[in-house]
Amino acid sequence: MQAKHRESLRKHRLELCRGMDNHSKSVVTQLVDRKIMTNTDEQIIIREVSSVKQNEKILDTLTKRGPKAFQTFIEILNDMGLNQLTALLLGDNENQTVNDTLDGRPAPDEKQKTTDSSSTSPVDKLAKLDDDIDTVDMPPHEQEDGRFGGIGGKKKTDVPSKMETVETPMDICFNPEDCYSMKRLPRGRFLLINNKDFLPESGMAPYTRNGTDVDAQCMKELFEELGFDVEYHRNITVYEIRKAFKKMATLDYSQYSAFACCVLSHGQEGILYGTDGTVDIKELTAFFRGKNLAGKPKMFFFQACQGSEYMDGVERDSSMEDETDGPPEYGNEISLPTEADFLYAYSTVPGYYSWRNSVKGSWFIQAIVEVFRKYAHKMDVVRMLTRVNQIVSTKKSQTGQRPSHHKRQISSVITQLRKEIYLFPPHGPLKELKADY
């Protein structure tokens, strides 16, 4: 399959999964009949528990097939009367008529609501979601084209001329040999990417991520107070995302203790959206395997969907009670695995939507800000992210629509750290912020 066809399938993944609802078995049967897929493929696909999952598996399998796969898929969709989906794939913008009841997204000319409420209409309900790779607007500090603008203050990308150190609080008991050395100040570099508005070629232009500027402002202020130099980018393309990641990965970190990054955008499993298309997360994080960051922690925070499934809740056993709410490295000759010292924190687990309030910000980012401000002076990062999981898990969506009302979310932390990370604030405990979301 040609790269442009794979990109088209990826760009319209959500629309296809929803539009083929209740047609998945017919689609895969015809793909088998036309020799695009095998009987084994069919058995694997129909084993999936929902039609959305079946359709996702169809698309994943389709991208690995030969040059005739895309055209055959188009013919099958046309034969089944799903012409609105073929129009999307072929770029026929004049004939795009995706049914809102299938898609769930607001139409381009629909006025989006600004709060999560019980009166949310069907076309507005997914405006609060971060899907495939967000209304308080930013102050006008960005450049005229809206790119590479800062929320405030100048960017700090050069090696600082004067370094300070941060002392460990006397009341914290831990073994320094089990912790990353985080005494330098500035402590590290922090890359913040905030994509709110999208270009037509991304397929996401109608789905403005309202509320994301609140998240960006909170994360910027948090990591500045934790001693990081922040570089902020707003509404940037895939090329510009790659450029920003590569630049940050190749800078001199000899006078820094860590690197951290936060991306706020639409997404799907394993991918993020620039304003004009998608990029693989693995491609971006791979830039940071160089020697300049060897032995130093690299933290990534992703607020984006990882699929198109709603997450339901499960009731606990009624018998259960409710619960209330370092030192220098061991020398320069050490050899470490290339994947060591990475931490990935995702707003949701693979396959599921990630929720965001269009005024107050996302559940995940606001929980991070609340927890880090409360505990950074006495708790390591992994423990704090466990507290974040707890907060996120208590939330329920408020859309008033049966398919999406009272849905849940749980964030996901993947750690390849060798030691504990303490981000002791340089000037003492931070001002606590109780998130109102």
CB of 234 closer than 8 Å to CB of 147: yes
Identify whether 266 is a catalytic site residue.
yes
Using the structure block, give the residue that is written with the tokens 């320094």: 176
Residue from 5, 266, 405, 427 carrying the catalytic annotation = 266
Give the span between the Cα atoms of 341 and 320, in whole angstroms. Answer: 37
35: its two tokens: 């020799």
Identify whether 17 is a catalytic site residue.
no
Element (H, E) at 36: none
Q: Is 104 left (phi over 0), alpha (psi -120 to 50) or beta?
A: left
Q: Tell me the DSSP string of 170-191.
A: TT----GGGB----EES-EEEE
431: its two tokens: 């001002």
Q: Tell me the DSSP string of 311-368.
A: BPP-PPPTTSPP----PPPS-TT----TTTTEEEEESS-TTB-EEEETTTEEHHHHHH
89: its two tokens: 């794939």
Q: What is the dihedral sign for C-alpha 98, 310, 214, 248?
A: negative
Residue 64 dihedral angles phi and psi, to the nearest 5°: -100, 5
Give the span between the Cα atoms of 262 and 256, in whole angstroms. Answer: 18
CB of 63 closer than 8 Å to CB of 6: yes
Using the structure block, give the residue that is written with the tokens 């040609």: 2
CB of 287 closer than 8 Å to CB of 300: no
Does residue 426 sit in helix, strand or coil? coil
Residue 70 dihedral angles phi and psi, to the nearest 5°: -65, -50
Element (H, E) at 104: none
Residue from 5, 262, 305, 427 carrying the catalytic annotation = 305
Give the span between the Cα atoms of 372 and 394, in whole angstroms. Answer: 18
Element (H, E) at 299: strand 298-303
Give the span between the Cα atoms of 266 and 279, in whole angstroms. Answer: 11
Q: What is the dihedral sign for C-alpha 138, 142, 145, 147?
A: negative
Residue 223 dihedral angles phi and psi, to the nearest 5°: -75, -25
Q: What is the dihedral sign for C-alpha 103, 240, 301, 58?
A: positive
Tell me which residues are annotated as active site: 266, 305
